[in-house]
Amino acid sequence: MRKKEGMEMESNRFKAIKDCSSEGREKQTVVSDLDGTLLRSSSAFPYYMLVAFEASGVLRFALILLCSPLAWLLYHFISEAAAIKLLIFLSCAGVKERDIASVARAVLPKFYIADVHPDTWCVFSAFGKRCLLTANPRLFVEPFAQDFLGADLVIGSELEFTRSGHATGFVKAPGVIVGDNKQAAIRKHFSDEVPDIGLGDRASDFPFLAMCKEGFVVPRHPKVEALHPSKLSKQIVFHDGRLVRSPTPGWALVTLLWLPIGFLLAFVRVAAGALLPMRIVYYVFHCLGVRVVVKGKPPLDMGTRKHGVLFVCTHRTLLDPIFVSCAVRRPVSAVTYSLSRVSEIISPVKTVRLSRDREKDASNIRKLLEEGDLVICPEGTTCREPFLLRFSALFAELADHIVPVAMNTRMGMFHATTARGWKGMDCFYFFMNPRPLYELTFLDELPHELTCAAGKTSFEVANYIQRVLAGTLNFDCTSFTRKDKYKALAGTDGSVSSHLPPSKVTGC
């Protein structure tokens, strides 16, 4: 009782975050805790689960879930540091440093962004110098904090690695950054300088708050809504990873229990799409729980055309051509930039690889159009966010009949695209979702006066179609390319400012 009363008296020394003014802070320094302060959730458990799943696989993911009750007991009855050490060991031991860094760069920011506390961000973003304190490994947090929060300094627990670059599962001295270690870390990094503002949310933060000129506490309100991503200084365009939702203990358990069921269901769905006549696949998919929504008027027959229709689609997954074929009730060939051998074998439609040799690719596309209809995705790669990448203009020179198709998907459990993992599993991950949705909007055929045959340049045609498709989906146009995506997920900047810079906008 005395300890609780003492904590309450101590907390009364600090005002609530809503009382902190954000005006005139451009030359001042702020130090903020992460979990429960800059993020709404006080639990970092989902991020350890994400690292385990994406860097190691399902078995380590299951192991951490099994040990989660022990971590809970350690946190509440022993110490926060002991619980975090256990989670670090379970998620990182034996994993290569580059794999952890890759997950931290390509996967974790999307989940961190979805949990930013609006009140804390309003204050934190107003300061000229921003420092973030976290008990989690600095390697987990730094890419998100620097790229999307504009943090100048991230102070976190330092992972220990062997000479071969594998994590030992232990933390370097002085240990996990909690309690007194927070004070020591601030003294080390700020020397004689005293931070102007300290932000925290719990009793263990009070000592470091007392070191600052002013300290503010973030009250816990479970129903507070997360900051809208567009209000951050940068938006995320590219991200990776298979899990759609944050793996809290409850959702992680649901995911593990669903995996064997989902794989069997995916096998049945894939077999149905690959083996059955395309004219009935649409109905079979509905029976198997795959929702296919078709809008507009898809051309259901070839008619009297000498050449096939070129369906120009937004690229959401490698299954785009399959669902176009499903909508028009006949197999439609597709050209691809890259496709795994497994996907080629099980594909129910003809696929032809593009070589990136302009003359050779143009010849192949012309031959396919002479044989029948063709699907092409000019973006060249998928993008999960509501953005369209730059359209390659080659297709506009080669087709007389162009039908734009706005494609969109919804997946509740697994993403069906990857830049880091095995692409051969992409279609299975899509069909492992309990109720996946594919929405196709067939627009009117491009009028003759807007084609290259009427004097338009291929770039004008491509940009026009990009704008029309973006408007249909309420997406934003960018000039990012496939190369930009893989650079972003390989370690360079894959984000854009909240107002896309002119160099990356095509004018939609």
Q: Could you tell me if 20 and 84 lie in one domain? A: yes
Q: Could you tell me if 330 and 285 lie in one domain? A: yes
- The pLDDT assigned to 9 comes to 44
Q: Could you tell me if 356 and 314 lie in one domain? A: yes
DSSP E strand boundaries for 142-184 = 153-157, 159-161, 167-171
The number of folded domains in the chain is: 2
Q: Could you tell me if 229 and 261 lie in one domain? A: no
Q: Could you tell me if 292 and 415 lie in one domain? A: yes
Residue 1 lies in a domain: no
Residues spanned by the domain of 194: 10-236
Residue 244 lies in a domain: no
Question: Mind listing the pLDDT tens digit of every residue in the chain (508 residues)?
Answer: 444 444 444 556 788 999 998 888 999 999 999 999 999 999 999 999 999 999 999 999 999 999 999 999 999 999 999 999 999 999 999 999 999 999 999 999 999 999 999 999 999 999 999 999 999 999 999 999 999 999 999 999 999 999 999 999 999 999 999 988 899 999 898 887 889 999 999 888 998 999 999 999 999 877 889 999 989 988 899 999 999 999 999 999 999 999 999 999 999 999 999 999 999 999 999 999 999 999 998 887 665 566 789 999 999 999 999 999 999 999 999 988 777 777 777 888 888 887 777 888 888 889 989 888 999 999 989 999 999 999 999 889 888 889 999 999 999 999 999 988 888 899 999 999 999 999 999 999 999 899 888 889 999 999 999 999 999 999 999 989 988 898 888 654 444 555 555 445 444 4
Domain stop point among 182, 209, 236: 236
Q: Could you tell me if 271 and 177 lie in one domain? A: no
Residue 460 lies in a domain: yes
Q: Could you tell me if 94 and 186 lie in one domain? A: yes
Distance between CA atoms of 55 and 421, rounded to whole angstroms? 10
Helix (H, G, I), strand (E, B) or coil at 303: coil
Q: Could you tell me if 292 and 383 lie in one domain? A: yes
Domain stop point among 236, 267, 299: 236
Q: Are β-strands 495-497 and 234-236 bridged in parallel, bridged antiparallel, or unpaired?
A: antiparallel
Q: Could you tell me if 140 and 214 lie in one domain? A: yes
With 0-12 CB in 10 A as exposed, 13-18 as middle and 19+ as buried, what is 506? Answer: buried
Tell me, what CATH number does 225's domain have?
Answer: 3.40.50.1000
Residue 467 lies in a domain: yes
Residue 4 lies in a domain: no
Q: Could you tell me if 405 and 292 lie in one domain? A: yes
Q: Which parts of 160-289 fold into alpha helices (H)?
A: 180-190, 206-211, 249-275, 278-287
Q: Could you tell me if 351 and 452 lie in one domain? A: yes
In DSSP notation, 427-445 reads HHHHHHSSS-EEEEEEPPP
Distance between CA atoms of 432 and 264, rounded to whole angstroms? 8
Residue 340 lies in a domain: yes
Tell me, what CATH number does 393's domain have?
Answer: 3.40.1130
Q: Could you tell me if 311 and 283 lie in one domain? A: yes
